[in-house]
């Protein structure tokens, strides 16, 4: 019985290995046939390579696209530099590419850049810069950015404390799918006066109607 299970596991392992090998051969074939001229196809292949653990190929593809100004490639290139995938970890280079993507309006890059400046673990902590980038991402209904910005408003980080604005941002984050914001909003409500709650709820409704 154990021998059968061992044999099955071995067979699965072989199949997985062949799939990964096949993906590598296919990518190599595309390179040889010069089929990666289309930026959209190149980006898809880069993601596939990254998912399959072929960091070197992913890095090469993302880098070429990033140099050409592709915002999504710039974001993923920054991610690879930040975590050291397929390249030596380089935080200044990661921030450089993340900023390029953020300046092109990519909400995920704006949000991540805001988080980097907020945390201050990979660069000098800068709450004002964090607010700027998080606000840009929040304007595009990025739920995580809305939640982080709400926390900054609630705690008065990088600007004056504003519980009413914090409440409205938590509400927006909840509507945009961030479940954790509901818990944070409910904790905030305990600190607010009835008048503040009424004003915040009215403002949140107005903001939601405006953004629909």
Q: 97 and 138: one domain?
A: no
Q: 207 and 139: one domain?
A: yes
Q: 197 and 145: one domain?
A: yes
Inside any domain, residue 19: no
Q: 97 and 132: one domain?
A: no
Structure token pair of residue 125: 């902590």
The tens digit of pLDDT for each residue in 112-171 reads 999 999 999 999 999 999 999 999 999 999 999 999 999 999 999 999 999 999 999 999
Domains in the chain, number: 2
Inside any domain, residue 119: no
As a 3-state breakdown, the chain gives helix, strand, coil percent values, each rounded to 5, of 75, 0, 25
Inside any domain, residue 111: no
Inside any domain, residue 40: yes
Q: Within 10 Å of residue 123's Cβ, how many Cβ atoms? A: 15
Report the predicted TM-score, pTM, of the whole model to 2 decimal places.
0.80
Inside any domain, residue 62: yes
**CATH number of the domain encompassing residue 80:** 1.25.40
Integer Cα distance of 35 and 20 in angstroms: 20
Residues of the chain with pLDDT below 50 are: 1, 7, 10-23, 25, 29, 32-34
Integer Cα distance of 7 and 13 in angstroms: 10
Integer Cα distance of 134 and 78 in angstroms: 17
Q: 91 and 137: one domain?
A: no
Inside any domain, residue 8: no
Inside any domain, residue 205: yes
Inside any domain, residue 9: no
Q: What is the pLDDT of residue 205?
A: 87
Domain that holds residue 45: 34-104
| Direct distance between the N- and C-terminal alpha carbons of the chain, in angstroms, rounded to an integer | 60
Of 74, 104, 134, the residue that ends a domain is: 104
Q: What is the pLDDT of residue 107?
A: 98
CA angle, residues 105, 92, 62, in degrees to nearest 5: 55
């Amino acid at each position: 019985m154990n021998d059968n299970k061992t044999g099955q596991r071995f067979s699965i392992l072989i199949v997985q290995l062949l799939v990964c090998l096949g993906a590598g051969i296919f990518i190599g074939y595309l390179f040889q046939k010069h089929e990666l001229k289309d930026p959209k196809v190149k980006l898809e292949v880069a993601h596939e390579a990254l998912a399959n653990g072929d960091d070197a190929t992913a890095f090469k593809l993302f880098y070429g696209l990033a140099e050409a100004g592709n915002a999504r490639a710039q974001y993923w290139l920054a991610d690879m530099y930040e975590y050291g995938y397929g390249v030596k970890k380089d935080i200044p280079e990661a921030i450089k590419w993340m900023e390029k993507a953020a300046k092109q309006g990519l909400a995920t890059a704006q949000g991540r850049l805001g988080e980097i400046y907020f945390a201050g673990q990979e660069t000098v902590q800068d709450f004002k810069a964090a607010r700027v980038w998080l606000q840009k991402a929040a304007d595009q209904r990025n739920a995580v950015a809305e939640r982080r910005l709400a926390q900054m408003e609630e705690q008065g980080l990088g600007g004056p404390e504003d519980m009413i604005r914090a409440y409205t941002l938590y509400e927006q984050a909840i509507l945009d799918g961030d479940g954790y914001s509901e818990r944070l909003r409910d904790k905030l409500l305990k600190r607010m006066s009835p008048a503040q709650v009424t004003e915040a709820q009215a403002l949140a409704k107005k903001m939601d109607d405006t953004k629909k």
